[in-house]
Amino acid sequence: MAKTRGGEKRPGKRKGNSRWRWLTRLFWLSVVVGLLFLLALDAVVYQKFTGKKWSLPSHVYSRTLELYQGLPLSREQLKWELDSLGYRQVAAAKAPGQYSVSSRRVEIFSRGFEFWDGSEPARLMTLTFAGNSVSGLVDAKRVEMPLARLEPMIIGGIYPAQKEDRELVQLGQLPPALVEALVAVEDQGFYSHHGVSFRGISRAFVANVKQGRIAQGGSTLTQQLVKNFYLDQQRTLTRKALEAIMSVLLEIHFSKDEILETYFNEVYLGQAGERSIHGFGLASRHYFQQPVEELELHQIALLAGLVKGASYYNPWRHADRAQQRRDLVLDVMARQGVISTEQAAAAQKKSLGVVSSRSGGGRWQYPAYLDLVKRQLREDYQASDLETEGLRVFTNFDPQVQRKLERRMVSRIENLESGYRITAGDLQGAAVVIRVGAGEVLAIAGGRQPGYAGFNRALDARRPMGSTIKPAVYMTALEQPSLYTLSSQINDTPISVESENGEVWQPRNFERESHGQIPLYEGLGHSYNQATAKLGMDVGLPAIINTVRRLGYEGSMRELPSLMLGAVEMSPLDVAQLYHTIAANGFYSPLRAINSVFTAENVPLKRYPFAAEQRFDPTVMHLIHYALQVVLREGTGKSAYKRLPQDLVLAGKTGTTNDQRDSWFAGFSGNYLSVVWMGRDDNGKTPLTGGTGALQLWTDVMSELDNRSLVFNQPEGVSYHWVETDTGLLGRKGCAGSRYLPFIDGSEPVDKGRCVPEPLDNVVDWLKDKLGW
Amino acid sequence: MKYPLSILLVLLFVTGCAPMMAPVSGPPSTPSAPATLPDDEPGGVRGDVLGDVIVPSSPTPERASNSAVAQLVADAWEYNRVGEYDRSNAVVERALRINHTEPEIYLVMASNYFAMAQLQLAEQLARQGLPLAGRNGAVKRDLQRLLSQIISAK
């Protein structure tokens, strides 16, 4: 009850004061809460902007192309490489990222690049060609250069679940016209407002009222950045108010350039399958396969125009819309004096200039290889780091080899299906190509369909390796030179082996025939099962398993007699690891897909150097190389030489499993090793052997590569002797049945065969011949 | 009697070098393969004996024949001399990619790893280079010398 002036309570006034007091309190409380909210908001704005702004996916690069005199690379192949890297063909190369072509020359203005071992400057160079190789390399002053290299191409990335992709750029990297174009079309008052432009809002309001729909937005670039960077996409008044407050806060703390740079990296500019393309750096590569620094005016205008709606103005799906938008941007730029009307008109005459949607806008093209890269990376990095730290992963992937492999895989499988009346689509294949010596994985086909990102047969299809295991059996024997040589006589006769569980194993030769006593090298050359099984039982299963281990296989193997004929399941990559040890003269080097890893800031992080470990003696390797050459010259792989040069020294081995379910070939030249598998995913029968299936694709692929002959130097401790192949005794040059075979010193035969005459026999035979007796 | 004996000795010498058994007709040839199915697998058909078609190749030249490889090897030695062993290895691995049969590549790598006290790897690389270095030559001597140093350091 209110008191009166004389001390009595005055209820009305007291009530009014109390209300006022409460209102005042409420006001101050609101002010305090508002300030606290503002402070909290400010902290959010500040911390996110100064912290790690984005989760950056890792990007994976191909090998770098080394250019030098004698490089086996045709003019067309170089042109393909340059086009893939986004170089522009011009009349005369004058700036990085350009090249020109004449009948025998290619002039390149390369882009600079930071490699592990140093930086490669951007420079002008001219390559001349003779046939399919580089015959000369000179710099801008026509001075001969020993070598130069092009930057690697991006072949893929490793993404988090939301698959947001971007390539960070700094404001200084951007062409000034791009910055001007964006400001001109999105926020003309950017450099004068403080985050919110009331003039812009009013203008948009009037325009929208006039048109009776939302035709114009009043958001500044800062507001757009706040909306994308901090807030969700809801269109409510509360969110709009929040956006305005945060924009002002952002402008208080950070410079216009900092805000603009973040905007350039944040904005959504397109979609590539599941990947969303953010920022102008990646958008430039996505649409034009060029770094943003190299963009021309018409390209800049298109990108700036896409900010309004990357899907609506998608240049691949809606080329007309995209062109209209681009031309409008150019008009606006001209109206605002950023460019002249002549420049605008000239740019408007140009086509959109986007690359084909397959190379630019589609999925990554080499999923099988990326699969291997990811697996090898996960040995050293957490998945979360790979998906968010923006690592730059440089690999040994060779796009030229991959292209050839994929092309040949498609045509050969189709050819085999029609030739052998296999239901179209039933036959599958997988292959890997390795650089011999360096142990680098150059190309992988995970199936018959190029670019298919499903089941990777090259890595995951573990199938019985059949006779491709046989070199391990023969190497085990040849490591005991006192017992076995290439001319040792082994029995190719029926054999029965009883296993521990009582089962009897009776291997037979493919053609169901036995060949009796044969020299050891023929057992491998012709892939005789009975001879190999007998030899294997003599040397012992544990020793053979040990050999397979030393060759580089780390998986499980059961000690069963059938192991000797390939009853062990391996992937093509596993088989490649084994054969690389053979190709590298007995030195084991882990097969490497990755060359080096850099941080997002281009700081070298880790290199994956070459390493080697001697697992076999060079003398034994020389002998096995000999026997594996026999396979291709005379044995189960001889059809390869119908299409490969006779003077090219090659070695390899066919493999076929029971009921011809798997067709294998593993073989190598001096510089390339390739392993091919063919079969059916349901493990069904095929009409193919290793020779009629996998070997044919292997030959296709090898015929496309620049092979050098296998280095078959005679090592110390090995000597050659003429030997009678049917007796294993010493023979002589020119005698029928004699063969020139390598022996580990001390293991050569000492007894003379029928070919080596006693001196007196010579005289007697001569006299008989002369006298006609 | 003295004269016919001389003739007999000459004849003995001549006939001793001549083939007494039926010679292989013509030069070694690659057996022709069937036109359709290229071969049998895994058995195969025992073909002609080719004599000496498969013979050892000539030893690799002592020094790097490719100018790009030579340049890279020279650069790698420079980095080795100033103690930048990892960079030296990165450079010489580029040479390895171009031609892995150049023995000096292995000498550089082995020297780098030796300097980095990675003796096991140094030894393996030196051993890998040795068979490629031919029977003589400076690189072979250097590889052998390095290998001895590595073994004594282990």
SS3 of chain B: the string is CHHHHHHHHHHHHHHHHCCCCCECCCCCCCCCCCCCCCCCCCCCCCCCCCCCCCCCECCCCCCCCCHHHHHHHHHHHHHHHCCCHHHHHHHHHHHHHHCCCCHHHHHHHHHHHHHCCCHHHHHHHHHHHHHHHCCCCHHHHHHHHHHHHHHHHC
The 10 Å Cβ neighbour count of residue B11 is 15
CA distance A627 to chain B (A): 9
Look up residue A407 and give its amino acid.
R
Nearest CA-CA partner of A434 in A405, A464, A461: A405
- Interface ipTM: 0.85
Please determine, for residue B144, whether its predicted confidence score (pLDDT) is greater than 50. Answer: yes
Confidence class for position B10, pLDDT limits 50, 70, 90: very low
Distance CA B46, CA A633 (A): 11
The dihedrals phi and psi of B48, each to the nearest 5 degrees, come to -65, 150
Do residues A572 and A370 make contact, with C-beta atoms less than 8 angstroms apart?
no
Q: Given CB atoms, is B118 within the 8 Å cutoff of chain A?
A: no
Name the stretches of chain A with pLDDT < 70. Answer: 1-13, 213-217, 357-364, 758-766, 768-769, 772-773
Q: Given CB atoms, is A527 within the 8 Å cutoff of chain B?
A: yes
Give the pLDDT of residue A9.
Answer: 53
Q: What is the DSSP string of B44-60?
A: -------TTSS-PBPPP
Do residues A404 and A73 make contact, with C-beta atoms less than 8 angstroms apart?
no
Give the pLDDT of residue A483.
Answer: 97
Cβ distance of A735 and B23 shorter than 8 Å: yes
Distance CA B39, CA A690 (A): 9
Interface A:B, Cβ pairs < 8 A: 235
Give the pLDDT of residue A359.
Answer: 56
The 10 Å Cβ neighbour count of residue A42 is 18
The answer to whether the A59-157 and A189-260 domains have the same CATH topology is: no
Do residues A298 and A348 make contact, with C-beta atoms less than 8 angstroms apart?
yes
Confidence class for position B55, pLDDT limits 50, 70, 90: confident
Q: Given CB atoms, is A53 within the 8 Å cutoff of chain B?
A: no
Give the pLDDT of residue B38.
Answer: 31
Cβ distance of A757 and B20 shorter than 8 Å: yes
Q: Given CB atoms, is A734 within the 8 Å cutoff of chain B?
A: yes
Do residues A167 and A279 make contact, with C-beta atoms less than 8 angstroms apart?
yes
Q: Given CB atoms, is A652 within the 8 Å cutoff of chain B?
A: no
Q: Given CB atoms, is A587 within the 8 Å cutoff of chain B?
A: yes
Please determine, for residue B72, whether its predicted confidence score (pLDDT) is greater than 50. Answer: yes
Confidence class for position B59, pLDDT limits 50, 70, 90: low
CA distance B93 to chain A (A): 7
In terms of DSSP bridges, do strands A604-607 and A275-278 run parallel, antiparallel, or are they unpaired? unpaired
Answer whether the bond into residue A561 is a cis peptide, omega within 30°.
Answer: no
CA distances from B64 to A144, A383, A462, B71, B90 (A): 18, 43, 41, 9, 18
Sheet containing strand A124-130, edge to edge, reads: A88-89, A98-101, A105-109, A124-130, A133-139
Confidence class for position B19, pLDDT limits 50, 70, 90: very low
Cβ distance of A689 and B15 shorter than 8 Å: no
Q: Exposure of A736 by Cβ count < 10 A (0-12 exposed, 13-18 middle, 19+ buried)?
A: middle
Look up residue A517 and give its amino acid.
Q
Nearest CA-CA partner of A576 in A677, A480, A659: A677
CATH superfamily of A189-260: Biosynthetic peptidoglycan transglycosylase-like (1.10.3810.10)
For the segment A156-178, what is each residue's pLDDT rounded down to a tens digit?
988 877 788 888 999 999 999 99
Helix-strand-coil split of chain A, %, nearest 5: 40, 20, 40
- Note the residue count of chain A: 773
Q: Which sequence spans correspond to the domains of chain A? A: 1-51, 59-157, 159-188+267-363, 189-260, 718-771
Looking at residue A642, what DSSP letter applies?
A: G
Please determine, for residue B31, whether its predicted confidence score (pLDDT) is greater than 50. Answer: no
Give the one of B12, B51, B60 whose C-beta lies nearest to A739's C-beta: B51
Please determine, for residue B5, whether its predicted confidence score (pLDDT) is greater than 60. Answer: no
- Please name the residue that has the structure tokens 């397959």: A358
Q: Given CB atoms, is A642 within the 8 Å cutoff of chain B?
A: yes
CATH superfamily of A159-188+267-363: Biosynthetic peptidoglycan transglycosylase-like (1.10.3810.10)
CATH no. of A59-157: 3.30.2060.10
Please determine, for residue B28, whether its predicted confidence score (pLDDT) is greater than 60. Answer: no
Average per-residue pLDDT for chain A = 91
Give the pLDDT of residue B24.
Answer: 30
Report the top-level CATH class of B67-153: mainly alpha
For A759, what's the count of Cα atoms within 13 Å in the CB-facing half-sphere?
7
pTM: 0.86
Give the pLDDT of residue A321.
Answer: 95
Strand partners, A653: A666
Give the pLDDT of residue A735.
Answer: 86
> Which two three-digit tokens encode residue A565?
């004929």
The 10 Å Cβ neighbour count of residue A4 is 10
Looking at residue A228, what DSSP letter applies?
A: H
Strand partners, A131: none
Residues of B (28-57) whose Cβ lies below 8 Å from A? 30-31, 33, 37-57
Nearest CA-CA partner of A756 in A715, A724, A711, A718: A724
Cβ distance of A761 and B109 shorter than 8 Å: no
Strand partners, A492: A516
Give the pLDDT of residue A763.
Answer: 66
Cβ distance of A609 and B90 shorter than 8 Å: yes
Do residues A649 and A670 make contact, with C-beta atoms less than 8 angstroms apart?
yes
CA distance A102 to chain B (A): 25
Residues of A (62-101) whose Cβ lies below 8 Å from B? 66, 68-71
Do residues A740 and A722 make contact, with C-beta atoms less than 8 angstroms apart?
yes
The residues of A annotated as belonging to the active site are 186, 467
In terms of DSSP bridges, do strands A154-158 and A148-149 run parallel, antiparallel, or are they unpaired? unpaired
CA distance B83 to chain A (A): 14
Residue A533 CA, chain-centre distance (Å), reads 40
Best to test chain A binding among B50, B54, B96, B106 (most A CBs inside 10 Å)? B54
Cβ distance of B98 and A68 shorter than 8 Å: yes
Task: Write down the number of H helices and E strands in chain A.
Answer: 23, 32
